[in-house]
């Protein structure tokens, strides 16, 4: 039988071991990060400091991440800008059997919440996570075209160098449907609309050092493991990067970038040229990282490799 002193000693060894492990892999333990689910949104934060705001109810067409904060407290996303009301922060949308889930003006499809809950995630070093069940419905109908299980994990935040999210969408067919075809415009996919003061003055870089294919105006498509947007504003410089898992369909992702009249970044599956017939489950994994300041490519690559280990290559 252990004495009280022996038990206390072993507990101290365990705590120090966890701390050493977290420092070794470049992550920190944040026991005070919490998920709060209300009737309309999910908030992930540390004490009273917000990190992620996700809206899933009282949104007529799709759930999305409305706000994402850097460790310094800068929100890098913009929701429903007057020029494009259907641009919602960080969102996922494509066309399914020719039903357009991206735009919200002419007979759009609807992504409807069927349940949301916090997730006791066992994937170290996840700080907080939640999972949502979504039905993709035809316009003005309850007919389900596609089912999605969406999992959002906060992997890094607080006093660390960046805020890092993992976004996983696991798609499956509803009962009675044998297949659907995914298609859409060249920018359909996981899209980011940047905060208003970040929209017009930045530049894009990517892992492949490739300028990509010019599509229209200054819009480009580039195939790369990651793509980042760097910008300075009155609130200071920030870097926002999107990561794509090598396990994704048609990896690496083809990134849509646009600098004018506003900056936009989207991870695509090249569906505009190659529609995809989905007849078996499909899992897509992406990461989003947001730094205070303009970081170099080496730092983006380091965080990308960490994300791969803890969020991007889960089986």
CATH number of the domain encompassing residue 259: 2.70.98
Domain assignment present for 106: yes
172 shares a domain with 118:
yes
Question: CB-based contacts of 104: which residues, under 8 Å, 6+ apart?
Answer: 60, 61, 85, 86
133 shares a domain with 80:
yes
Span 270-289, mean pLDDT? Answer: 98
Domain assignment present for 96: yes
| Domains: count for the chain | 2
Inform me whether the pLDDT recorded for 4 exceeds 80: no
16 shares a domain with 112:
no
> Is 234 or 130 the better-scoring residue by pLDDT?
130
Domain assignment present for 20: yes
158 shares a domain with 11:
no
Span 258-278, mean pLDDT? Answer: 96
Domain assignment present for 249: yes
Domain that holds residue 131: 70-312
Domain assignment present for 241: yes
Question: CB-based contacts of 51: which residues, under 8 Å, 6+ apart?
Answer: 33, 44, 45, 68, 69, 154, 157, 163
185 shares a domain with 274:
yes
Tokens of 232: 């300075």
74 shares a domain with 25:
no
Write out pLDDT tens, residues 135-154.
Answer: 999 999 999 999 999 999 99
Going by pLDDT thresholds of 50, 70 and 90, the confidence category of residue 292 is very high
76 shares a domain with 22:
no
Question: CB-based contacts of 46: which residues, under 8 Å, 6+ apart?
Answer: 30, 32, 33, 34, 157, 158
Q: Which of 240-244, 260-264, 285-289 has the lowest mean pLDDT?
A: 260-264
Q: What pLDDT does residue 17 have?
A: 40
Note if the bond before 252 is cis, omega within 30 degrees.
yes
Domain assignment present for 204: yes
Q: What pLDDT does residue 21 have?
A: 36
Contact (Cβ atoms closer than 8 angstroms) between residue 253 and residue 244: yes
Going by pLDDT thresholds of 50, 70 and 90, the confidence category of residue 111 is very high
90 shares a domain with 23:
no
Q: Which residue, 61, 35, 57, is CA-closest to 120?
A: 35
245-259: b or e for each residue (b if 16 or more CB lie within 10 Å)?
Answer: beebeeebbbbbbbb
Question: CB-based contacts of 79: which residues, under 8 Å, 6+ apart?
Answer: 55, 64, 66, 67, 87, 88, 89, 193
Span 199-212, mean pLDDT? Answer: 93
Alpha-carbon 7 to chain mean position: 42
285 shares a domain with 149:
yes
Strands (E) in 211-275, as ranges, are: 213-214, 220-223, 226-233, 236-244, 254-258, 264-268
Span 37-54, mean pLDDT? Answer: 93
User: What is the rounded average pLDDT for all residues in the chain?
Assistant: 89
| Distance between CA atoms of residues 39 and 23, nearest Å | 37
Note if the bond before 125 is cis, omega within 30 degrees.
yes
Q: What pLDDT does residue 286 have?
A: 98
Going by pLDDT thresholds of 50, 70 and 90, the confidence category of residue 122 is low
26 shares a domain with 81:
no
Domain assignment present for 44: no
Burial class (CB in 10 A: 0-12, 13-18, 19+), 8: exposed
Q: What pLDDT does residue 157 have?
A: 82
Q: Which residue, 100, 139, 146, is CA-closest to 271?
A: 100
Q: What pLDDT does residue 156 have?
A: 87
- Max Cα-Cα span within the chain: 75
1 shares a domain with 124:
no
Domain assignment present for 152: yes
205 shares a domain with 154:
yes
Note if the bond before 34 is cis, omega within 30 degrees.
no
Q: 306: helix, coil or strand?
A: helix
């Amino acid at each position: 039988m252990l004495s009280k002193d022996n038990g206390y000693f072993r507990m101290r060894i365990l705590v120090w071991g966890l701390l050493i492990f977290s420092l070794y892999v470049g992550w920190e333990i944040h026991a005070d990060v919490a998920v709060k689910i209300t009737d309309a949104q999910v908030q992930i934060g540390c004490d009273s400091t917000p990190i992620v705001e996700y809206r899933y109810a009282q949104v007529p067409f799709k759930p999305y991440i409305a706000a994402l904060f850097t460790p310094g407290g800068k929100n890098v996303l913009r929701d429903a800008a007057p020029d494009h009301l259907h641009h919602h922060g960080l969102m996922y949308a494509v066309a399914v059997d020719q039903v357009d889930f991206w735009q919200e003006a002419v007979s759009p499809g609807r992504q409807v919440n069927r349940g949301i809950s916090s997730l006791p995630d066992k994937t170290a070093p996840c700080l907080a996570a939640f999972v949502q069940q979504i039905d993709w419905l035809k316009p003005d109908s309850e007919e389900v075209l596609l089912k999605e299980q969406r999992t959002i994990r906060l992997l890094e935040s607080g006093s660390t160098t960046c805020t890092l999210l993992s976004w996983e969408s696991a798609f499956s067919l509803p009962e009675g449907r044998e297949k659907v075809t995914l298609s859409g415009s060249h920018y359909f996919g996981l899209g980011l609309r940047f905060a208003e003061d970040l929209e017009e003055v930045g530049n894009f870089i990517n892992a492949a050092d490739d300028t990509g294919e010019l599509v229209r105006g200054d819009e480009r498509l580039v195939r790369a493991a990651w793509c980042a947007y760097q910008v300075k504003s009155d609130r200071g410089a920030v870097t926002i990067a999107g990561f794509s898992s090598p396990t994704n369909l048609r990896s690496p992702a083809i990134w849509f970038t646009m600098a004018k009249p506003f900056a936009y970044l989207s991870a695509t599956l090249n569906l505009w040229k190659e529609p995809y017939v989905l007849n078996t489950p499909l899992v897509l994994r992406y990461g989003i990282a947001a730094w205070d300041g303009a970081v170099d490519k080496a730092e983006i690559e380091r965080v990308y490799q960490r994300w791969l280990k803890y969020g991007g290559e889960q089986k």
